[in-house]
């Protein structure tokens, strides 16, 4: 299945990157500036949503808004559960912007991971309010629309990362059933990886083995959290 283009809409914005602010008032002003940019971008592109099988993907806002936001909020997003490192997610984000211009779509696990982390960054930056709240929800929905393809394809460590990032986002958005389902699906994919490709994770100390067990521990933690919430 070919996924539709993730549209990127250019705005005429001042040059330069979003700067970290040490003064609380400056930080609030900076967050308000990002919120307004996102709102303008959403309004401008609402009529140009990408359609696929009756479903629409929310367009990705311009790179000069999203990349600095992800960089700023990364530690807040992944501090407790390091599902993916900063260099990896920034590379995936840059690749997504790169292929969008050519009308192609990144592999669905990459698309899901990018959208989940964007939504997590908006939420962590306390921008998930007013007009921007829809943006966080839209990016969650973008990622969720890839689930059928991910579960019908061969599992990879990237697909597990994407599912766990989506699970974290579902928990932050108080979507308990989705949190449980996504965590459980990530665990099942890890089990399939171990069964189908045992040689890739056998060598002690190998990067793939270390990554596998890191994700396994996070998936188990998420399943325990969801089970505890269901019992309470």
Q: What is the 3-state secondary structure (H, E, C) of 25-73?
A: HHHHHHHHHHHHHHHHHHHHHHHHCEEECCEEECCECCHHHHHHHHHHH
Q: What is the pLDDT along the chain (232 residues), one digit of tens a residue?
A: 444 444 443 333 333 333 334 455 655 666 666 666 555 554 444 333 333 344 577 777 788 888 998 998 898 888 889 999 999 999 999 998 887 655 556 688 999 999 999 989 888 866 544 445 557 788 888 899 989 988 888 999 999 999 999 999 998 888 889 999 999 999 999 999 888 777 777 777 778 888 999 999 999 999 888 777 666 6
Amino acid 217: pLDDT: 94
- Is 196 part of any domain? yes
Amino acid 32: pLDDT: 67
- Is 36 part of any domain? yes
* Residue 211: domain span: 24-231
- Is 130 part of any domain? yes
Amino acid 129: pLDDT: 42
- Is 220 part of any domain? yes
Q: Answer for the pair 166, 74: CB distance below 8 angstroms, yes or no.
A: no
The count of structural domains within the chain is: 1
pTM: 0.73
- Is 84 part of any domain? yes
Amino acid 123: pLDDT: 82
- Is 8 part of any domain? no
- Is 15 part of any domain? no
Rounded to an integer, what distance in angstroms lies between the CA atom of residue 225 and that of residue 89?
A: 25
- Is 6 part of any domain? no
Size of the chain, expressed as the number of residues it contains: 232
Amino acid 204: pLDDT: 72
């Amino acid at each position: 299945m070919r996924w539709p283009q993730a549209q990127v809409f250019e705005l005429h914005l001042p040059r330069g990157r979003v700067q970290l602010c040490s003064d609380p008032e400056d930080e609030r002003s900076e967050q308000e500036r990002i919120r307004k940019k996102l709102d303008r971008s959403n309004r401008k592109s609402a009529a140009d949503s990408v359609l696929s099988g009756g479903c629409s993907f929310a367009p990705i806002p311009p790179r000069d808004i999203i990349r600095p936001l992800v960089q700023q909020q990364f530690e807040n997003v992944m501090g407790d559960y390091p599902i993916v490192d900063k260099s990896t997610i920034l590379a995936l984000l840059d690749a997504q912007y790169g292929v969008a211009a050519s009308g192609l779509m990144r592999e669905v696990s990459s698309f899901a991971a990018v959208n989940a982390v964007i939504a997590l960054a908006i939420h962590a930056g306390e921008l998930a309010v007013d007009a921007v709240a829809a943006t966080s929800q839209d990016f969650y929905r973008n990622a969720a629309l890839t689930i059928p393809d991910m579960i019908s394809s061969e599992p990879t460590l990237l697909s597990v990362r994407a599912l766990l990032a989506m699970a974290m986002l579902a928990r932050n958005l108080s979507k308990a059933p989705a949190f449980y389902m996504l965590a459980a699906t990530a665990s099942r994919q890890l089990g399939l990886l171990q069964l189908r490709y045992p040689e890739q994770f056998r060598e002690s100390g190998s990067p793939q083995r270390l990554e596998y067990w890191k994700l396994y521990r996070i998936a188990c933690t998420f399943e325990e959290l969801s089970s505890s919430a269901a019992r309470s």
